[in-house]
Structure 1
Amino acid sequence: MKLQETGRYQLLALFIALVVVLTMHPTKAQAQVVGNLEVDIPFQFHAGNVKLPPGKYTIHMLENTDLTVMEITSLDGSTSALFEVGRAQASSAPAKSELIFNKYGNRYFLAKVFDEGNPSGSQVLESRYEKRIGQAATEGQEHVQAHHRDQQGN
């Protein structure tokens, strides 16, 4: 009997240790924009390797890409771009969903996407063009608020 009790205690201890390890090291899930964000961008900008005109766009994570590719599409469907993303972490959770652009002179590059209430977001991988421009110019940032399409109120 003592052998069975010892085995049960060892199994219980192993289970508790496993639970502790799993809660201390969460899975590799990246934060993602849930659904489609809608945004009105008032300036010409670059998303990945594509230059896009000012206008209204939707942006979302592409399915089946392990949360590494996003798509931005104009509301009229005439323009779109795919771009690679990694993880981004804000110092605090944004009150509203937002897109953050790096600004070099009069050139804007989509840099980060955050969903409202979540400090984890997506960072757009820099294109060669942005790296080249960034070496020659002073960087600023521009924040543009976005909202989920179902929260429009129109």
Structure 2
Amino acid sequence: MELLTPSLGLLFWTLLAFLIVFFILRKFAWKPILGSLGEREKAIADSLESAKRVRAEMAQLKSENEELMAKAREERSAMLKEARETKDRIINEAKEQAKIEASKVVAEAQQAIHAQKMAAITEVKNQLGKLVVEVSEKVLRKELATQEAQEAHIKGMVGEVKLN
């Protein structure tokens, strides 16, 4: 049983060694250990606060990003609508311009056809007039081959002409 119960001297020296180590640690090591623990606790608290702040900023940035995306979608829709309207307007203007040009071309063609028709009619009239004159000349030469026939014809023409 001696082994289970320590002697009084052993207890004294163990207690004395413990107290010496305790006072030495308290004087030299306790404050730096507590200081570093305090600093670490403060750093952890600051990190947690920073994480909360970052989380709040991220939530705000996410909502701002969603707002920007919504605005961008609206702007894109407006731009597409405007582009479609512009395309339709340009197509309609081009169609109207083409109709105007086509009607101008048709009108010019009709005028050209009318002018050519009138020129052809005039040409036919001129040729007909020449033919009539030539035929009349040939007929008159034949009828008025004699001097007496010519004098009778001249007198008849003079009688027909009315003087004013």
TM above 0.5, yes or no, is no
Look at both structures and tell me which one has the larger radius of gyration over its CA atoms: 2
Q: TM-score, normalised by structure 1?
A: 0.25
Larger strand percent: 1
Larger helix percent: 2
